[in-house]
Amino acid sequence: MSGSGQTGSNQVKLNFAVRTFANWEEVPIFDSEDAEATFWGEHRPDLRLMESATAGNAESSESVTVTLRFDPRMLARIKRLARTRYLNYQSMVKQWLSERMEEELRER
């Protein structure tokens, strides 16, 4: 009997798939926190949608390429953290720099 129980739980795992959406209009207005939690448990924004959302916050449409040198372990940690947030690591670092710059300017 324990074998058939495991098969059932395996079937649930196999049938569950996280769906991605490519447009913010696909996110419904939720009636409750439970409905919202269920939606976000089953859906994720497409990576390109997240990147375009962060790119839209730039002060200027022009950008300049810069080179930064990172310790390989630090860069690996940054990339892992960015993946958990569904962001490009370069966009996340740019966001961090922007936030810190605003913080520094407010303290003056």
At 13-71, the pLDDT tens digits run: 545 678 888 887 888 888 889 988 899 889 888 887 777 666 555 555 677 888 999 99
Is the model's pLDDT at 82 over the cut of 60?
yes
Alpha carbon distance 19, 52 (integer Å)? 19
pLDDT of residue 61: 60
Question: What's CA 5's distance to the chain center, in Å?
Answer: 35
Q: How many domains is the chain partitioned into structurally?
A: 2
Claim to verify: residue 88 and residue 36 sit in the same structural domain: no
Reduce the DSSP state of residue 84 to 3 states and report it: helix
Claim to verify: residue 104 and residue 87 sit in the same structural domain: yes
Alpha carbon distance 99, 101 (integer Å)? 5
Q: How many CB atoms lie within 10 A of CB 87?
A: 19
pTM: 0.44
Q: How many CB atoms lie within 10 A of CB 65?
A: 4
Claim to verify: residue 71 and residue 105 sit in the same structural domain: yes
Q: Taking residues 87-108, report their average pLDDT.
A: 90
Question: What's CA 86's distance to the chain center, in Å?
Answer: 2
